[in-house]
Structure 1
C-alpha cells in the first residue's frame, strides 16, 4: 500500500518518558512530560534546550532505542515500538559520539557502514562519489580517520550516516567541538541533502545561530516544550527589546557587571566595546539607559538566542553565580609587565609546521583568546605554553620562567582545565580536590582552606562524597575549574571550558572567569563559541600555523571590515576565508 504523502516524518503527541528507579520510586526521573512535536516530510527541524532537557531522550525514542512510557510516537506513520525494524531501514542516527573507526581510512569506514546498511556493491561507487564531492573528502580517502581534524571527522560521520539514503536523518549535536568554518560547511551539506533528496532532518544543537537556519525550532526544558515555531516567529516578540550600550570609557567587563545588576536587563553579553542587552518586557528605555550608565541605547535586531534566554530565564530563574558570592581579591600587582611572552614561536612535527613565527604577550587581568579552525595550531600553541611539549624555536616565557630550561617550574605557576574531563571519575569530588591540592604541596590547614574556597566558589557544597564520574557535564566543568585553582595560580589555561554545556550555563561560567581576571589572574582560553570571544580582552586568530589577526574584539571586527555590533562568528569566518583565498588553500 502506498504511503500517504501527508504523513509527517515524525509525529509525537502527549509523549512521556519516565526512567524508573526500581529500588526507590521516589527517585523516578521524568525525561519527557507530554510533548507534542512534528517533523514534516522534507523539513529541517531543530531541538534546542539546556543540558538534561530531554533532547537526546527524544531522539533515542524516535530511533526505537527507548520505549515511550505513554503517548503517541510515529515515524512515517509507523509505531516506534511495533514497527521498529521497518523504521530502522528508513532512518540514520548520528549520536554525539559517532563511532568512527580511528585505525581505518575514510574509504574503509565508508565500506564498513555500507556493509552494515546492506548497500549493494554495484551502487557504492556512485554513492561514494556523490558523498565525497558533497563533503569535500575526495582528496583524502586513504587518510586514517584518527588523523582527521575535528571538522573532517564530522563530515565523514555525516557521509557514513547518509550512505543508505535515509528518509530521516537524526543528528544529536553534530557540530559540537567544531570550528565555525567547518560548521558552516556541515550545514551546507545538510541543506543540500534536504533540497536534493527531499530528506527530513531532526537536529539538536548548542549553537543557536545553527538552529536559526532550520524551518522550525522547538525549545525544550525539563522535558516540556516551552515554545515552537519558525525562527522568525520565535524572535518576533523581541524586536523592540534588544539594544547595544556603548562602553562610555568602561571595560566590557565593567559594562557586563553594570548590566547584570540592572533590574530592567534580562540578559547581557559583550559586543565590541559595549554590551548587547535584552530588556525585560515593557522596560522604559530611558530608565534602562540610566541603570547602565549610558546616555542612550541603540536598537539591534533580535536573535533566536534572545527568545531562548528569555524563555529559560522565565522557566528556571537561574542563578547568576555558581556558589556563594566570592570577594574579589585584587592581586594584580604590576599589571603592565607581561606574565606570558611569546616571540617568533615555531613548532614543527617532522616536515609539518604546526605553528609558524607566532608572537604575542599577556598581562595580569587579561583574558586572551586563542581562536582558529580545527588544525590551526592553537592547541599546539596552548600545549607549549602549558609546558606539555617543547617549542622548536623562539622565545616562550611563563611567569618569568623560560620554557626551554624551566618547564617544571613554570607549570607550578599555572592552572589547566582540559577540554575533556580529565580528573579521576571513579573517585569522589573531595578526593580529586585533595589529590590535586597535594600534588601542589598543599596539606593540613592549607589544603582545607584551599578546598573550602574552591568548593564555595563553584557551588560544590554537598557534593564532596559524590563520584566525579556521576556528575553532569556542567558540574564536571565546575570541578575541573576548582581543581585547577586549588594552588591559587596566577595564570589559568582554559581549553574549551564551556564545550558541551548550554548557553544558560555558559553565561554563569563566564561570570566566574571574569571574576578571576578581576582578581588579577592572566587567562588564556580557546573556544569554538565565537560569541564567547567577546568576553576576551584580546583575541588572536590562527590558521594553519599562521597568525591572521590579533587585537580586541572591536579591532578584530574592524580588521574584517565589520562594525562592532556584528557577530564575532561573522568576523572569524570572513578573516579565515580571506586567508585561505589569498594563500590559495582549498577548504578541507
Structure 2
C-alpha cells in the first residue's frame, strides 16, 4: 500500500492563531520543514502547544498554512485537500463517536460516510473486530464502553476503509496501560502487514520509542529528528539510578535533585529508586552532596532522557527554569501524619444490576499522596466520585474530613478541592474571571479573594495569561488554571482525576513538584492516573479491576505482590499489568 511519494513532505511551514486577550498571535508553527517516507511509523513529540496537533490538522487538509508548502502522498494539500482526504484517515484527540449508537451502528455510519461498499465492509469489519476484540460488543452502545474500548472503536471507525496514511493525534490519552498496549499492537500490525504509513503524536515517550522516526517539536519549531537511538544519544553517559537512603521517600530525593538545576537535568522516581540525568559539567562534590549517601549507578539512556536533555536546553529564561514553586500554603503548626482524614469501609456502588464497586475498604492519612489505579472501567472513577461527594454510595461507610458523606456531603465538599479529568472551567471567561467566579463559589470575598487570586496566579505561572480566554489556552496552561482554581480556598484534601492526561514529561515533572510541595504542607492528595510512573510519587496506592480491590500498599509493596523482573527492577507499569492479568486469569478459571 506504500506510496512512491513521501507520506508527508513540508517546507517552511508557518501557522499563527489570534488569541483573544493576547497581545500577539500565537505561533503554532514557525518555519517547520520535514519529510516522512511512505510505509513509516513516525512520532511527533513535544510539550503542550508545540505545534503537533496543528501539523496533523494541516496534513489532514482541515486548515491551511499561512506560508510554506505541504504535500501529503505527493498531493499539495492547500490546492486539493479533498484528494488528500480521500486517501488518508485521521483520528483526532476527541474522536466523534455517537454514544447512543451501538458499536456496529457507529461502524456502519462511518462506512456510509466514506462510501465503503458492502463486500469491502464485510471483509474490513471482520478484520477490525478481530484486531480490536470488539466482536463481542457490537450491540453495546458506544457510551457504555470503557475508555480503552472507546479508543479502539474510534480507531476501527477511522479504518473502515483502507487508507494509505493514518494520522493519530494522541490516541492513547486517558487509556490504561493494558489498553494502551493493545492499541499499539493494532497499529504495529497495520504497519507490518499493510505497509500503512502512520504519523502519531504522543505524550508517551515509550510509545515514540516504538517508531522508526521521531520528530521533536517545541514552540512551533522542529528542534530535532531522527531514529530513537539517535535521540537517545543526547543523554548518553549522563543517566543514573540512585537508591534513596532508608527512611527517605524516592519523591523526596527526586525533588532535591530536580531543584538543583546547576547539577541535574532531570530526575524522576522509578521502581522505588530515582532515575536522574546529570549535567555534563556537574561538579562531582556538589552531586555527592545532593545524593546525601544514596548509591548511584549508571544506566543506559532512554528516548525520554534524550528528549528531556533537548527540552531543558531550550529553557533559557529564568521563569521557565524556575518551574519549581514554593509550597502552595504555609505548613500547619503541627501535622499528625497518622491522622486518618478519609475512612472507607465496605463501600459498594451499584448501577441497577451492575456492581461498579464491590465492598472496598481503606483509609488515607493527613499529608499522604494516595493513588487510585486501575484499567478503564475498573471502578476507580466511581470510587473517586464517591470520595469527592459527587456520587452517593449504595452501601458502606465513608467519612471525609471528619464528616460522614451520607449525612454531610455539602459540608465536606467545602473542605476539599477538585480537579476533573476534563477541563471543567468556563472556556468563554478569562483566567481572572474564572478565578473570581469560583473564589466566590468557595465563599471568598473582597481582599481575601484578591490575595488568594494573586497567590495562585504567581504559583502556577499564570500572571502572563491572566486576561487570556481560558478555552483558548494550551493544554498545560488549562491544567495549571484548573489546579489554581481547586486550591483557591486552601482545601485540606485535594482530589485530582487524571490531571496529567495528555501532558508531556516536562509538564508532568512541574506538576508533581507542586503536588510534593502540597503534601509537605499537610494537604492530603487523592489522585487517579494512567501514567504508571506517577504511582511512584504516591505514599500508597490501590489497584482496582472489575470493581474489586486487587492490591493496596506502598509502591514497593505492590511491586513485591506482582513478582520480580529478571533484572530485579520491576516498573510500576509491569507490576500493574501483572496484578491485573493475574486477577483476570484467576477469575476466568474460577468455577
Shorter-chain TM range is over 0.9
Cα offset for 1:147?
1.2
CA-based RMSD of the aligned residues comes to 2.4
Cα offset for 1:7?
2.5
Distance 1:222 1:370, change over 3 A: same
Query: Aligned residue for 1:278?
Result: 277
Query: Aligned residue for 1:131?
Result: 128
SS class of match (1:220): strand
Query: Aligned residue for 1:194?
Result: 191
Match of 2:541 among 535, 539, 542: 539
CA contact (8 A) 1:50 1:221 kept: yes
1:455-510 residue CA offsets vs partner (Å, 9 max, x unmatched): 33222335444433233222222222222222211111111112232221111111
1:252 partnered with 2:256 = no
> 2: distance between equivalents of 1:24 and 1:257?
35
Count how many residue pairs are aligned between Structure 1 and Structure 2: 583
Cα offset for 1:585?
8.6
Cα offset for 1:133?
0.8
> 1: distance between equivalents of 2:465 and 2:427?
14
Query: Aligned residue for 1:221?
Result: 218
1:147-172 residue CA offsets vs partner (Å, 9 max, x unmatched): 11111111111111111100110101
Distance 1:372 1:283, change over 3 A: same
Distance 1:245 1:5, change over 3 A: same
> 1: distance between equivalents of 2:197 and 2:589?
33
Distance 1:84 1:482, change over 3 A: closer
Matched ranges for 1:280-295 at <5 A: 280-283=279-282, 287-294=286-293
Match of 1:163 among 139, 160, 165: 160
Cα offset for 1:331?
5.1
Cα offset for 1:414?
0.9
1:412-443 residue CA offsets vs partner (Å, 9 max, x unmatched): 22111111111222233333223323323322
TM score, norm. by length of structure 2: 0.93
1:12-53 residue CA offsets vs partner (Å, 9 max, x unmatched): 2x3312327699998344322333322222210001011111
Matched ranges for 1:37-56 at <5 A: 37-56=34-53
TM score, norm. by length of structure 1: 0.93
> 1: distance between equivalents of 2:434 and 2:73?
49
Distance 1:235 1:351, change over 3 A: same
Query: Aligned residue for 1:267?
Result: 266
SS class of match (1:339): strand
> 1: distance between equivalents of 2:39 and 2:92?
21
User: Which segments of 5 or more consecutive residues in structure 1 lack a partner in the other structure?
Assistant: none
1:547-569 residue CA offsets vs partner (Å, 9 max, x unmatched): 11111122222222236744322
Of 196-205 and 437-446, deviating more is 437-446
> 1: distance between equivalents of 2:61 and 2:276?
42
Matched ranges for 1:42-441 at <5 A: 42-249=39-246, 250-262=248-260, 263-283=262-282, 287-294=286-293, 296-317=295-316, 318-321=320-323, 328-330=330-332, 332-441=334-443
Matched ranges for 1:483-502 at <5 A: 483-502=485-504
CA contact (8 A) 1:332 1:521 kept: no
Distance 1:270 1:320, change over 3 A: farther
> 1: distance between equivalents of 2:470 and 2:155?
32
Distance 1:23 1:337, change over 3 A: closer
Cα offset for 1:351?
1.1
User: Which segments of 5 or more consecutive residues in structure 2 lack a partner in the other structure?
Assistant: none
SS class of match (2:536): helix
1:156-200 residue CA offsets vs partner (Å, 9 max, x unmatched): 111111111001101011111111111100000001111111111
Matched ranges for 1:467-482 at <5 A: 467-482=469-484
Cα offset for 1:395?
1.6
Distance 1:20 1:576, change over 3 A: closer
Cα offset for 1:374?
0.5
Distance 1:5 1:182, change over 3 A: closer
1:517-568 residue CA offsets vs partner (Å, 9 max, x unmatched): 0000111001111111111111111111111111112222222223674432
